[in-house]
Amino acid sequence: MDLHIWFAYFAASWAIALSPGSGAVLSMTHGLAYGVKKTSATIAGLQLGLAVILLVAGVGVGALLLASATAFTVVKFAGAGYLIWLGLKQWRAHVGVAPAAGDAPALVQDAVMPSARERFVTGFFTNVTNPKGIVFMVAVLPQFIDPARGLWLQLLILLVTTVAVDLVVMHGYAFLASRAQRWLATARARRAQNRVFGGVLMAMGASLLLVKRAA
Best-predicted range by mean pLDDT among 13-17, 25-29, 88-92, 168-172?
Answer: 168-172
pLDDT tens digits for range 74-91:
767 776 776 677 778 777
Q: How far apart are alpha carbons 37 and 46 in whole angstroms?
A: 15
Task: Name, in order, each residue with C-beta under 8 angstroms of 127's C-beta and a sequence gap of 6 or more.
Answer: 22, 23, 45, 46, 47, 48, 49, 50, 52, 53, 133
Which CA distances in Å does 54 have to 48, 105, 129, 141, 212? Answer: 10, 46, 12, 8, 19
pLDDT of the residue at 180: 74
Which CA distances in Å does 193 have to 57, 79, 183, 212? Answer: 35, 23, 11, 31
Q: Is the per-residue pLDDT at 24 higher than 70?
A: yes
Which of 68-82, 88-102, 190-204 shows the lowest mean pLDDT across its residues?
88-102
pLDDT of the residue at 163: 93
pLDDT of the residue at 169: 94
pTM of the model: 0.69
- Nearest CA to 194 out of 79, 84, 95 is that of 95
- Nearest CA to 204 out of 46, 51, 81, 50 is that of 81
Secondary structure (DSSP) of 40-83? HHHHHHHHHHHHHHHHHHHTTHHHHHHH-HHHHHHHHHHHHHHH
pLDDT of the residue at 185: 55
Extents of the domains making up the chain: 37-93+130-215
